[in-house]
Amino acid sequence: MTHTVSMHERARALLNRSVVEEISAEERAWLDLHVDGCTPCSAHRVALLETINGVHSEIGNFSASAALVRKTQSAVRHRAAQLQRDEERMGPLWIACMLAGLWALLSIPLIWEGTRWLAGHTSVSMFVWQTAAVFVWLMPAGLSVALGVWARGLRAVEG
Amino acid sequence: MHLALTAVQTLASDGAVIARGLKRRDTALLERLIEIYQHRLYRYLTYLTGSRERAEDLFQETWIRVLERGKQYNPACRFDTWLFAIARHLVIDLSRKKTTLSLEAVMHGAYDDDAPREFAAPGKTPFDEAQMKNLGDHLGAALLTLDVVQREVVLLRFQEDMSLEEIASITSAPLSTVKSRLYRGLEALKPILELSGVRP
C-alpha cells in the first residue's frame, strides 16, 4: 500500500488526538490500518505512548514529606481555632445588630409621637422635631454599623 | 488495612460528606483530606512552581484556604478539582506578586481583569532552569522545559488522569484551549525525551 504525505500527517494528527480525546471507530480503524503498515507512524505512536508513560511514571518522584503533612495539619487546626474564636467574638455583635433592628422597627410610632409631643410643648418647628425623630430612630442602627465596621477592621488588622 | 483504604476512597469520592465537614470546619476531616491528597497536591505544586520550597509553602496555604473557603465547595464537583483550582490560584497570586505587569501589555490592552486567570510569567524562568537540576531525572527536567500552561495540562491529564472537562474547570480555560495546550505540550515533550535518551 502506498502512503502519501497527507496520509502520514493525518495519521499523526489522529494519534495525537487519540491520546487526548476519543476518536471515532471509523478513524480508529483507519489509523490502526495505516500505522500497522507504516514504520515512521508506528515509531511516532511508540514515542507518543512512551512520553505519556514517562509523564505518568514521574508520580513516584514527588511525595510530600511526613513533616510537611504534620505541619500543615497543625496549621489548619490552629487556623480553625482562630476562626472559631473570631466567630464567637462576633456573636454578641450580631445579637446587638438584631436587637437594634428590632428596636428600630418597633419604635417608629413611639419615637414619632414622642418627639411630636415634645415639640408641642417646646414650640419648635416641624422640621426640627421631624429631623430629631429620624436621628433618634437611626441612632441604634448607626451605632451597630459603626461597631461592625470597627470589629471588621480589628479582625483585618489581627488577621 | 483494606478497610481503612476503602474508607479513604469512599471519603475522597463522597462530595456531600466533604461539603458537610468543610461547612462545619471539621478539622479531623481536613486532616484526613490532607493525608489523602498530600502527594498529588504536592506534586502538582512542585511542577507548577518548579520549586520544592515554594510548593511546600503553597501546600500549607492551599489547605488553609480550603478551611477558610470550605463553605463555597460545591459537592456536585469533585473535591480534587476544587482543591487543584485553589492551589492554582495561589500559584498565580504568587507569580503576580513577583512579576510586575509590563507597560506594553497595559498600553495594548492585553491585560484584562475579566480574562481567565493565567500565570503572570508563563514559560521557563532562570529559576526553573536551576530547579531542573534539583528535580533529578530527565523526565522531571523535560517536563520543566515546557511552557507552564502546557506543563500544567499535561500533568493534570497524564499524571492525575483528569478529564478534559475537569482540566478546563481547574484552569478556567475553554475545552479547545485545553486540547491545544495538550497537543503542543506532548509535541514539545517528545523530542526532548528522545534527545535525552529517556525510554521509560
Same domain, B149 and B84: no
pLDDT of residue B52: 87
pLDDT of residue B58: 95
Residue B15 near residue B79 (C-beta atoms within 8 A): yes
Same domain, B67 and B103: yes
> Is the CA virtual torsion B48, B49, B50, B53 positive or negative?
negative
Contact at CB, A53 and B139, closer than 8 angstroms: no
Tell whether A130 is covered by a domain.
Answer: yes
Same domain, A105 and A142: yes
Using CA coordinates, name the residue in chain B closest to A79: B64
Given B111, B144, B167, the domain boundary residue is B111
On whether any CB of chain A is under 8 Å from the CB of B38, the answer is yes
List residues of A whose CB lies inside 8 A of any B CB: 16-17, 19-21, 47-48, 50-59, 61-64, 68-69, 71-73, 75-77, 79-80, 83-84
Measured distance CA(B189)–CA(A3) in Å, rounded: 27
Domain extent, residue B145, equals 122-200
pLDDT of residue B29: 94
Domain extent, residue A50, equals 5-61
Using CA coordinates, name the residue in chain A closest to B23: A80
- Number of domains forming the structure of chain A: 2
Which residue matches cell numbers 463553605?
B71
- Indicate if ipTM > 0.85: no
Nearest Cα of chain B lies from the Cα of A134 at a distance, in angstroms, of: 39
Contact at CB, A76 and B179, closer than 8 angstroms: no
Using CA coordinates, name the residue in chain A closest to B31: A73
- Read off the CATH number of the domain in which B88 is found: 1.10.1740.10
3-state helix, strand, coil in chain B (%, to 5): 70, 0, 30
Mean pLDDT across A16-23: 88
Calculate the alpha carbon distances from B34 to A58, B21, B23, B101 in Å.
21, 13, 16, 34
pLDDT of residue A155: 67
At residue A144 the predicted structure's pLDDT band, cuts being 50, 70 and 90, is confident
Same domain, A89 and A153: yes
The model carries a pTM of 0.70
Q: Length of chain B, please?
A: 200
Contact at CB, A56 and B159, closer than 8 angstroms: yes
Tell whether the model's pLDDT for residue A88 goes beyond 90: no
Same domain, A50 and A89: no
Tell whether the model's pLDDT for residue A99 goes beyond 50: yes
Mean pLDDT across A100-109: 80
pLDDT of residue B13: 62
Q: Single out the residue of B3, B65, B4, B62 nearest to residue B32, CA to CA.
A: B4
Using CA coordinates, name the residue in chain B closest to A14: B183
Contact at CB, A47 and B194, closer than 8 angstroms: yes
Q: Select from A9, A45, A55 the residue whose CB has the most chain B CBs within 10 Å, as the one to mutate to test that interface.
A: A55
Of A1-15, A39-53, B60-74, B148-162, the range with the highest mean pLDDT is B60-74
Contact at CB, A20 and B164, closer than 8 angstroms: yes
Nearest Cα of chain B lies from the Cα of A95 at a distance, in angstroms, of: 21
Angle made by CA atoms B158, B164, B168, in degrees to the nearest 5:
115
Summarize pLDDT for A121-141 with one digit per residue, the tens.
Answer: 887 788 888 888 888 878 877
On whether any CB of chain A is under 8 Å from the CB of B58, the answer is no
pLDDT of residue B137: 59
On whether any CB of chain A is under 8 Å from the CB of B56, the answer is yes
pLDDT of residue B138: 65
Tell whether B116 is covered by a domain.
Answer: no
Tell whether B117 is covered by a domain.
Answer: no
Grid coordinates given for A8: 502520514
Same domain, B93 and B138: no
What are phi and psi for residue A61, nearest 5 degrees?
-80, -10
Mean pLDDT of chain A: 83
Contact residues, chain B, for A156 at CB < 8 Å: none
Residue B200 near residue B139 (C-beta atoms within 8 A): yes
Q: Which of A31-35, A74-78, B187-191 has the lowest mean pLDDT?
A: B187-191
pLDDT of residue B113: 40
Q: Which of A48, A55, A80 sits opposite B154 (nearest CB)?
A: A55
- Read off the CATH number of the domain in which B191 is found: 1.10.10.10
**Ordered mean pLDDT values, 10 residues apiece, chain B (200 residues):** 51 80 93 93 89 92 95 91 94 77 40 47 46 53 83 90 92 92 85 54
Contact residues, chain B, for A58 at CB < 8 Å: 43, 139-140, 143, 159
